[in-house]
Amino acid sequence: MRAYAHSHPELPSERWHLLEDHLREVGRRAAGFAAPFGSDEWARLAGLWHDLGKYRPAFQHMIHSAGGENAHVEDAQRVDHSSVGAAYAQRHLESRSVPIALAIAGHHCGLQNHAYWKETRGPKTGHLLEEVDIPAVPADIIAIPQLTVPPMLSGQPNGQLFRNMEFWTRMLFSALVDADRLDTEAFLSLEKSEGRGGRGGFPPLGELASRLRIFMEDLSGTVGPSAINTERGRVLSRCRELASRVPGIFSLTVPTGGGKTYASLTFALDHALANGMERVIVVAPYLTIIDQTVAAYQKALHRHQDGKDALVLVEHHSGIEPEKENFRNRLASENWDASLVVTTAVQFIESLFARNPSQCRKLHNLARSVIVIDEAQTLPGDFLLPIVDVLGGLVEHYGASLLLSTATQPELRERVAPDGRKIAGFRDIVEIAGTPEEVKVSFRHLRRVKPKRALTKDWDEIAALVAREPRALAITHRRDDARILAERVQALRAGEPLFHLSALMCARHRQEKIAVVKSALKAPDTVVRVVSTQLVEAGVDFDFPVVFRAMAGLDSLIQSAGRCNREGRLTEGKLVIFDAPTQPPVGQLRAAADETKALLAANPGLDLFDPEIYQRFDARLQRVGDLKGIQTLREQLAFEDVARELRLIDGAWQATVIVPWGPVGKRTESLELLAKVEKVGDPHFLRDVSRRLQGYSVSIPRRQADEWLREGVLYAVQDLFLGLAPPYRHLYTEEFGLIAGKERPIADPAALIG
C-alpha cells in the first residue's frame, strides 16, 4: 500500500503527495540549507526521518478518512507522527541523536526542553515506532550513515560546548522546518511555490551593489564641497577598501550626519560579494529608523521593471504598513530568502532564542550573511551576554560577518573589569572608520553642536526656555513628562504650532506627525517646536538649531545632539541639557543618567563627542548582562524556558490597546477593522488583520488595562484585542495620543446619549 504525506482536495488519491518523495525532498532541501555550516548530513537525516510517523497505519487511515484533505494542517495533535522519527534517531544514533531528535519532535509544536523529551515525551511515545514497518520503508530513507562532528562542537569547554549545541540544534531545526514547509507548499500551493510568481524575484546581491554604486556616484556629483561631504566621502572610501576583508566582526563609528546609512550598506553588499556570501540583513532598533532606512534604500536601489515598481528588499516587522505588506514580501518574511532584509531588533533578537517553528524557520539563512546592527548601543544590556555569545558564534562557526554601526559605539570587546572580573565580549573588532585617532578627528570635523547646561528643575522654567526658541526640539525621558512640558509650552505660545510625539501615539499617527514636522522644517522662518520622548533621538533625521534634552546617558545626549544642526547649515547648533523634575525610569536608563551626571560633575569641560570618552562611559556601566540566566538555560538545552524568558517586550507587564486612528480623511480605519474581527472567525483573516492593527496599537501597563476593562473603558474583541469603548474614545487625541493618566477616565456624555 502506498503511503502519503499530504492529500489534496482537488486531486484523486493516486496523485497525492507520496511520503517517500516528501522525505527525500525535505532531506535534500534541508541538507542544502545546512551545508554553509558544515551540517548537511545531519540536516539530511532530520529531513529523511522527520515524517517517519506518517508510515503509521493510524496516520494513513486518517489521511484517507473524511476530512483527510486537511491532514497537512497541524495534524500532530490528532495522530502523533513527529515523535516516531525522533525515537528512530534516538535508537540508532544514541548519544548523537539529541539535536536531530529534538528538531524532529518539535517540527510542528516547537522545540521543547531536552529534559522534557528525555524524561517524559520520549518514554511515553517510544512505542509508536513499533507501529511502523521499518523494513518496508525505502532503504535510502532509513539508512544510518557515518556522521562527522561539526567544528562548533569540538574542542570547547563544557559550558560553551552545550551553548554551541543549543544554537546548532536551533539552526538544524530551522533548516528542517523551512525545507518541510517549502516542499509541502510546492505540492499544495502553486501560487506560493518557487518560480510561480510567489517566492523569489528579488535582485541578486551583485545587482544591488551595482545600483548602489551608480546612485552614490550620481549623488556625489550633485553635492558641493564641504567638511561634511568630505568626511562622508572618506567614510565611504574606507567602507569600500575594507569590504574585501575576510568575514569577521566590524564596527563603523561615524558621527551623526556622517553618511553611515549608505556607507554601511556599501560595505555590507561589497563584503558579501567579495566573500561569496548569501545576503545582507539590516537590524534597526525602532520603527522610525526602519521607515527612514527602507525609504533611503528604496531611493538608492529601486528600478522600474515592466512599468511596475520592483521589490528590492524584504521588510519584516510587526508595524509594516498594509500597503507594503504585499504577497511576495509576506512570503519572503517567512524565511528571509532574499538578498537584502531589513528588520527590527525585537524580531531579530527574539528569533535567535525562539522555539516556535515559524520564528525559527529563517535562522539558517543567517549563515554566510552580513548582519548590520544599526544603532548598536541600543542592544539590550539585560540580555547582552547571550546576544554577544550567539552573534560571535554566527561569525566563528556559521560564516557570517557582523557590522556594528553607530555614532556611539558600545564597548563590546572582551575585557577585564577594574575589579579583575573577566567581561565577555568579542575578541576582535575591526574599526572601518580608521584608527582611534582618525575616528576622533572625524568627530571633531563633524562637530556642529555646542552643549550647555540649564540649571533648573522647574517645568515652567524649562518650558519658557523652549518657548523662547522659534525652532526647537525638546526630549524627555517619560511619556507623562513630554505631555506636561508640551502643555506648558503651548500655554506660553498659544496659536503657534507645537508638535508632541510619544509612544502613547500609535505608530501610524507618529509617522504622520514626523512627516509633517519634516515638511515644516523645510520651509524657512517657520515656527516649529516639538516635544517628544526619546523615540526621536536616534535615527529620525530632524534638523533643529536648538535641542533640549533631559539629563540622560551619554549615548542619549550624543544621539539627541544628532538632531541639532544635522546638515551643518549653522556655524554652531545648541544642545541644552536640563535636569527634569522627575528621574529616568529605574534600571539601565537611570544608571546611565547617574553615570553621565557624575562624569560631567567631575569634568565640567568634558568633550561629550569624543568616541573614546563614550566607550569608557559604556565600559563603566558594565552592560554585558544576563538578567534571567539565559546562558545557564541554554546549557541545559531548555528551549522552552529560553524562549519564555528572553522577551524584549514583556507581555506580562504590558497590554496593547487598539486606538481610533486612521489615514488622513479616514480616521476610524482601526475601528472598522475591529468591527470586522467581531464578525469574522476565519483564522487567516484574523492573522492579516492583526498585522494591520499593529500600526494602530498603543502599549499601557497591564495593571491599568485590567482596571480599565473592569470599569468599561476598554472592551475585548474575541479575546484577541482591546479597544476603547465608545464613551471613552475621546481619550485618544490628535495632540497627545492616548491620555492614560492615573485619574479615573470620565465618559463622554454625547457618546452615552448616542
HEC sequence for 324-356: CCCHHHHHHHHHCCCCEEEEEHHHHHHHHCCCC
Strongest mean pLDDT among 132-136, 423-427, 718-722: 132-136
Q: Specify whether 459 is located in the same domain as 512.
A: yes
- Are 501 and 546 in contact by the 8 Å Cβ rule? The answer is no
Q: How many domains does the chain have?
A: 4
Higher pLDDT, 584 or 280: 280
pLDDT digits over 730-746, tens only?
999 999 999 987 677 88
For residue 218, being part of any structural domain is answered with yes
Phi and psi angles of residue 716, each rounded to the nearest 5 degrees, phi first: -95, 140
Residue 77 in this model has a pLDDT that exceeds 50 = no
- In this predicted structure, what is the pLDDT of residue 684? 60
- Are 480 and 504 in contact by the 8 Å Cβ rule? The answer is no
Helix H, strand E, coil C: the string for 678-719 is: HHCCCHHHHHHHHHHHHHHEEEEEHHHHHHHHHHCCEEEECC
- In this predicted structure, what is the pLDDT of residue 114? 97
| Lowest mean pLDDT segment, chosen from 183-187, 281-285, 530-534, 668-672 | 668-672
**pTM of the complete model:** 0.91
* CA atoms within a 13 Å half-sphere pointing along the CA-CB vector of 344: 16
- In this predicted structure, what is the pLDDT of residue 651? 63
Q: Specify whether 346 is located in the same domain as 425.
A: yes
Residue 69 in this model has a pLDDT that exceeds 60 = no
- Are 148 and 10 in contact by the 8 Å Cβ rule? The answer is no
Residue 415 in this model has a pLDDT that exceeds 50 = yes
Residue 67 in this model has a pLDDT that exceeds 60 = no
| CA-CA-CA-CA dihedral for 173, 174, 179, 182, to nearest 10 | 130
- pLDDT-based confidence at residue 666 (cuts at 50, 70, 90): low
| Lowest mean pLDDT segment, chosen from 80-94, 342-356, 600-614, 715-729 | 600-614
Residue 200 in this model has a pLDDT that exceeds 80 = no
**Residue 498, SS3?**
strand
Q: Distance from CA of residue 205 to its chain's centroid?
A: 22
What's the CA gap between 713 and 687, in Å, rounded? 26
Higher pLDDT, 249 or 191: 249
Q: Specify whether 80 is located in the same domain as 111.
A: yes
- In this predicted structure, what is the pLDDT of residue 157? 81
pLDDT > 90 fraction of the chain, expressed in percent and rounded? 62
- In this predicted structure, what is the pLDDT of residue 192? 60
What's the CA gap between 221 and 624, in Å, rounded? 44
Please identify, among 580, 608, 636, the residue that sits at the C-terminal boundary of a domain: 608
CATH of the domain at 406: 3.40.50.300
- In this predicted structure, what is the pLDDT of residue 403? 98
Q: Specify whether 347 is located in the same domain as 368.
A: yes
Please count the other Cβ atoms lying within 10 Å of the Cβ belonging to residue 53. Answer: 26
Q: Distance from CA of residue 74 to its chain's centroid?
A: 27
- In this predicted structure, what is the pLDDT of residue 28? 98
Higher pLDDT, 749 or 107: 107
For residue 396, being part of any structural domain is answered with yes
Residue 325 in this model has a pLDDT that exceeds 70 = no
For residue 701, being part of any structural domain is answered with yes
Q: Specify whether 238 is located in the same domain as 318.
A: yes
**Residue 18, SS3?**
strand
- Per DSSP, 413 falls in state B
| Lowest mean pLDDT segment, chosen from 347-356, 371-380, 608-617 | 608-617
CATH of the domain at 154: 1.10.3210
What's the CA gap between 100 and 106, in Å, rounded? 10
Q: For cell 484585542, name the residue.
A: 721
- In this predicted structure, what is the pLDDT of residue 74? 43
Q: Specify whether 264 is located in the same domain as 123.
A: no
Q: Distance from CA of residue 395 to its chain's centroid?
A: 19
State mean pLDDT over 212-234: 84
List, in order, residues 6 or more apart from 751 with CB less than 8 Å away.
726, 727, 728, 729, 730
Please identify, among 161, 188, 215, the residue that sits at the C-terminal boundary of a domain: 188
- In this predicted structure, what is the pLDDT of residue 464? 97
- pLDDT-based confidence at residue 70 (cuts at 50, 70, 90): very low
For residue 200, being part of any structural domain is answered with no
| CA-CA-CA-CA dihedral for 415, 410, 427, 369, to nearest 10 | 160
Residue 66 in this model has a pLDDT that exceeds 60 = no
Q: Roughly how many angstroms between the first and final C-alpha of the chain, as a whole number? A: 67
- pLDDT-based confidence at residue 329 (cuts at 50, 70, 90): confident
For residue 646, being part of any structural domain is answered with no
- In this predicted structure, what is the pLDDT of residue 307? 39
Residue 623 in this model has a pLDDT that exceeds 80 = no
Higher pLDDT, 450 or 248: 248
- DSSP line for 289-334: HHHHHHHHHHHHH--EETTEEPP-SEEESTT--TTT--HHHHHHHH
What's the CA gap between 706 and 657, in Å, rounded? 11
For residue 194, being part of any structural domain is answered with no
- Per DSSP, 405 falls in state E
The closest of 411, 431, 413, 430 to 613, measured between CA atoms, is 411
pLDDT digits over 20-40, tens only?
999 999 999 999 999 999 999
Residue 704 structural domain: 654-753
Strongest mean pLDDT among 56-65, 353-362, 508-517, 710-719: 353-362
List, in order, residues 6 or more apart from 12 with CB less than 8 Å away.
none
pLDDT digits over 700-709, tens only?
999 999 999 9
Higher pLDDT, 722 or 320: 722
- Are 454 and 558 in contact by the 8 Å Cβ rule? The answer is no
pLDDT digits over 148-168, tens only?
999 899 888 889 999 999 999
- In this predicted structure, what is the pLDDT of residue 131? 95
**Residue 433, SS3?**
coil
State mean pLDDT over 98-113: 97
Residue 76 in this model has a pLDDT that exceeds 50 = no
Q: What angle do CA 15, 21, 22 make, to 5 degrees?
A: 95
For residue 373, being part of any structural domain is answered with yes
Q: Specify whether 463 is located in the same domain as 438.
A: no
Q: Specify whether 432 is located in the same domain as 453.
A: no
What's the CA gap between 56 and 133, in Å, rounded? 8
Q: Specify whether 317 is located in the same domain as 352.
A: yes
- In this predicted structure, what is the pLDDT of residue 13? 86
Computed over every residue of the chain, the mean pLDDT equals 89
- In this predicted structure, what is the pLDDT of residue 611? 87
List, in order, residues 6 or more apart from 142 with CB less than 8 Å away.
48, 49, 52, 88, 134
Strongest mean pLDDT among 118-122, 325-329, 592-596: 118-122
- In this predicted structure, what is the pLDDT of residue 614? 86
- Are 698 and 505 in contact by the 8 Å Cβ rule? The answer is yes
Q: Specify whether 239 is located in the same domain as 380.
A: yes
- DSSP line for 508-563: HHHHHHHHHHHHHHHSTT--EEEEE-GGGTTT----BSEEEEES--HHHHHHHHTT
- In this predicted structure, what is the pLDDT of residue 679? 78
- DSSP line for 44-87: HHHHHHTTGGGGSHHHHHHHHSTTGGGTTSSGGGTS--HHHHHH
- DSSP line for 209-227: HHHHHHHHHHHHTTS---H
pLDDT digits over 450-494, tens only?
999 998 899 999 999 999 999 999 999 999 999 999 999 999 999
For residue 464, being part of any structural domain is answered with yes
Q: Specify whether 436 is located in the same domain as 473.
A: no
Residue 552 in this model has a pLDDT that exceeds 70 = yes
Q: Specify whether 423 is located in the same domain as 509.
A: no
State mean pLDDT over 623-647: 94
